[in-house]
Structure 1
Amino acid sequence: MEYNGLLLTFPKEIKIFIGAFVLILSIGFYTGLLFVNETSSNSPSGIEENYLGNEEDEEAEVMKFKKGEREMLTIVHTHILSMSFIFFLLGGLVWMTKASKKLKLFLTIEPFLSVILTFGGIYLMWTGILWMKYVVVFSGILMTLTFTASVLLVFFQLMKKQASVKL
């Protein structure tokens, strides 16, 4: 079965359906990033403070306390599960675009590594391995860039005219 460029052959109605899904998925993803920005300031020290607290900082505007083990396991568990579904579904669409296999392989495998590094890194940082905050920032940025590139690839190909099917 030939899947490279399959997305280009879909009828307009299916393309609209897929486009609506990818748009709503993107709104959810980027809203999550806004939430991260509100709670941890997107910096290594902000991430550390969000999970380990800032009780010692007398000049802190907002007092934060170290998260409990149950809360950490819930955060890690729910994010790894939900993000794996997000990237699985988006990856399936990426594989149907017309692009090189190397690009598609990167765009579909890298996010899974970033999910593990980001949320595993948050848990390891919480346990006391403080340098993991830098891994969390790097993997989170890479995950976001990969998500964005995948979404743009899918959107651009959804907007192309229907290609002729070779039998």
Structure 2
Amino acid sequence: MRYNGLLPSFPKELRFFIATFVFVLSVGYFTGLLFIQETESTTPAGIEENYLGNEDDEDAEEMKFKKGNREMLTIVHTHILSMSLIFFLLGGLVWLTKAPKKLKLFLTIEPFLSIILTFGGIYLMWSGIDWFRYIVVFSGILMTITYTGSAILVLWQCMFPKTFKISGISSR
């Protein structure tokens, strides 16, 4: 089955539908990043404070308490499930774009590794392995880079299909 470059050959209405989906998905994804920034969880120390609390810090502007076991399991569970679906759907669209196979493989497999490292790392850090906070930051950044790259690739090929069409496949 020939799927490389199939996305640009889709009818205009279908490409518009896909582009709208990826745009709205991106609004949701980047809103989540704004939330992370709001909780000051963009640094290793901020991540640790967000999940382990800061009750011992008398100079803290805002008191934070260590998250409970049920809350941690809920956070990890919901994020792994929802992020997996997000990257599965976006990855399926990436495979329909015209791009090198190795790039597509990276953009579609890496996020799943980052999901496990980020949210598994948060849980392990919370469990007492505090050096995982660095893994969480690194994997979170890598996940965001791959999300952004995938979204741009899909949106670009939806908006400018003539640049990417494969001969023999035509738009209807």
Q: TM-score scaled by structure 2?
A: 0.94
| 1:1-167 equivalence runs, <5 A | 1-162=1-162, 163=165, 166=168
CA distance in 2, matches of 1:71, 1:137: 21
Residues 103-138 of structure 1: per-residue CA shift (max 9 Å, x gap): 000000000000000000000000000000000000
CA distance in 1, matches of 2:57, 2:133: 19
User: 1:9 touches 1:165 (CA, 8 Å); kept in 2?
Assistant: no
User: 1:91 touches 1:108 (CA, 8 Å); kept in 2?
Assistant: yes
CA distance in 1, matches of 2:159, 2:12: 9
Identical amino acids, percent of aligned pairs = 71
User: 1:8 touches 1:157 (CA, 8 Å); kept in 2?
Assistant: yes
User: 1:5 touches 1:99 (CA, 8 Å); kept in 2?
Assistant: yes
Q: TM-score scaled by structure 1?
A: 0.97
User: 2:55 touches 2:64 (CA, 8 Å); kept in 1?
Assistant: yes
CA distance in 2, matches of 1:164, 1:11: 14
Distance 1:164 1:112, change over 3 A: closer
Q: CA deviation at 1:161?
A: 3.5
CA distance in 1, matches of 2:105, 2:41: 31
Equivalenced residue count is 167
SS in 2 for 1:40: coil
Q: CA deviation at 1:164?
A: 6.4
Q: CA deviation at 1:41?
A: 3.8
Q: CA deviation at 1:22?
A: 0.1
SS in 2 for 1:149: helix
Q: CA deviation at 1:16?
A: 0.5
SS in 2 for 1:125: helix
Moved over 3 A (4+): 161-165
CA distance in 2, matches of 1:109, 1:19: 22
RMSD of aligned alpha carbons: 1.1
- Opposite residue 4 of structure 1, the aligned amino acid is N
The more displaced of 37-46 and 76-85 is 37-46
- Opposite residue 130 of structure 2, the aligned amino acid is L
Q: CA deviation at 1:160?
A: 1.8
Q: CA deviation at 1:40?
A: 2.8
User: 2:93 touches 2:154 (CA, 8 Å); kept in 1?
Assistant: yes
- Opposite residue 17 of structure 1, the aligned amino acid is F
Structure 2 portions without partners, runs of 5+: none
CA distance in 1, matches of 2:82, 2:42: 21
